[in-house]
Each structure stands twice: as C-alpha cells, then as structure tokens.
Amino acid sequence: KQEVTQIPAALSVPEGENLVLNCSFTDSAIYNLQWFRQDPGKGLTSLLLIQSSQREQTSGRLNASLDKSSGRSTLYIAASQPGDSATYLCAVGDQGAQKLVFGQGTRLTINP
C-alpha cells in the first residue's frame, strides 16, 4: 500500500528566502507525481506534474524534482513571497490504481 509523507508539517520563513519542501513515498512504482497548493477553505491548485520518466519540472519560481529509486520528491521555491503562504500537497499517481495518494501537506507561512 502506497504511503506518502511530507516533511516538515509546518514551516515559517521570512520573505525572500529560498526553501525546499520534501515528499517521500514508499512504493517506487508510480505513474507520476503532482504538487498542489491549497489555500484555507479553498480547492487545490495544480503546481507541477512530473511523469515517472522525468527527473524535474520547472514553473516560474518553482522547481520540482523526482527520484523514483529513492522514493523522494522535493519542491524548491525561490525568492519566497507572502503570497506563497498556503498548504503544499504532494500526491503520487499510483501505478495501475489510477488514483492519487496524498501526503498530509506542509503548511507554509512566509513572513513579510
């Protein structure tokens, strides 16, 4: 059974810092991995999708990497801004199961 863990559970940093969010998964047989952002009381916004054959994806100030063999992904946020404050969710597309398995999320606060 696939399990996804995100560390840390919460993170608070001053504005302008570069930061890394971590995600690990127990079964390396995955279709893909997706990072989402969730604002309080809102839905999920897709940030980046990495296919199992890819090593990384970039979008603006965000960069996500995938190391299937070690069961890890990282989300790198450059030059953080207060508007980046949200909960960041990592989700693994389970091979053959056609569903996403989510981590518990990292609650990020960027202080002005």
Partner 1 sequence: NAGVMQNPRHLVRRRGQEARLRCSPMKGHSHVYWYRQLPEEGLKFMVYLQKENIIDESGMPKERFSAEFPKEGPSILRIQQVVRGDSAAYFCASSQTTMTEAFFGQGTRLTVV
Where in 81-100 is the site for partner 1 (CB under 8 A)? Answer: 89, 91, 93, 97-100
Where in 11-40 is the site for partner 1 (CB under 8 A)? Answer: 31-32, 34, 36
Binding flag, residue 49, partner 1 (CB under 8 A): yes
Q: Using CB under 8 A, pick the residue from 12, 18, 58, 104 that binds partner 1.
A: 104
Taking the complex as a whole, the smallest distance from the CB of residue 43 to partner 1 amounts, in Å, to 4
Task: Give the C-alpha separation, 40 to 61, whole Å.
Answer: 22
Q: Is 79 exposed, middle or buried (0-12, 13-18, 19+ CB in 10 A)?
A: exposed
Taking the complex as a whole, the smallest distance from the CB of residue 72 to partner 1 amounts, in Å, to 18
Taking the complex as a whole, the smallest distance from the CB of residue 13 to partner 1 amounts, in Å, to 23
Q: Strand pairing of 86-94 and 30-38?
A: antiparallel
Task: Give the C-alpha separation, 96 to 104, whole Å.
Answer: 22
| DSSP per-residue string spanning 59-81 | ETTEEEEEETTTTEEEEEE-S--
Interface residue list for partner 1 (CB under 8 A)? 31-32, 34, 36, 41-46, 49, 51, 89, 91, 93, 97-105
